[in-house]
Amino acid sequence: MRKNVLLDQAHAILKELITKEDIIVDATMGNGHDTLFLSSIAKEVYAFDIQEQALLKTKEKVGHLSHVHLILDSFEHIFDHVTDYRGVIFNLGYLPQGDPSITTLHDVTIRTLNMILPRLKKEGFIQIVVYPGHPEGMIESTAIQTWLNTLNPHHYQITITSFHHQENLPPYLIMIYKTKDEG
């Protein structure tokens, strides 16, 4: 078993869901672990980050793959680059071994979730790994919980996977599945 059970579970869910027909967005490429994983199961991957360091790290892993598009831009500008996708994944927070002050911000994250949700097709999904164990992460976590409560349960099914009995506000995993088209 690997060190991070939660991220293993996140990947296991994606492996079950994604097919070689699917375009997937990795909103936060970071060190490229998720982008590399997605590249092995999806038709096309669009990966975003605001840090050049992240782009360079990820390029080392997937730079040779023509179906993977690395974009140095904030995920809030997603529609400047891609408009058709089956799913979007967010691994929030800051770059491990990077500058912890460059982190995802609750207002940008919520604004982006509100943008991408209406464009999800039936059977589309959003996966979010949330890190409440640092100050902005806690604010972001609270904002996401409030936002989740606004989603129509007749159109979206939501699951949350969390560690039991672990100290220091561990990360948790949210899956949002679109089960019915709106309107």
Ligand X SMILES: C[S@@+](CC[C@H](N)C(=O)[O-])C[C@H]1O[C@@H](n2cnc3c(N)ncnc32)[C@H](O)[C@@H]1O
Contacts to ligand X by CB under 6 A = 27-34, 48-51, 54, 74-75, 91, 93-95, 102-104, 108
Instruction: Between 15 and 122, name the residue whose CB sits nearer to ligand X.
Output: 15
Instruction: Between 93 and 124, name the residue whose CB sits nearer to ligand X.
Output: 93
Residue nearest ligand X (C-beta atom)? 30
Instruction: Between 65 and 157, name the residue whose CB sits nearer to ligand X.
Output: 65
**Which amino acid, residue 5?**
V
8 Å CB contact between 131 and 93: yes
8 Å CB contact between 154 and 180: yes
Residue 12 CB, nearest distance to ligand X (Å)? Answer: 15
CA 3 to chain centre: 20
Q: What is the CA radius of gyration of the chain?
A: 15
Reduced to 3 states (helix: H, G, I; strand: E, B; else coil), residue 58 is helix
Residue 182 CB, nearest distance to ligand X (Å)? Answer: 26
Instruction: Between 17 and 95, name the residue whose CB sits nearer to ligand X.
Output: 95
Cα angle 150, 153, 159; round to 5:
90
Residue 2 CB, nearest distance to ligand X (Å)? Answer: 13
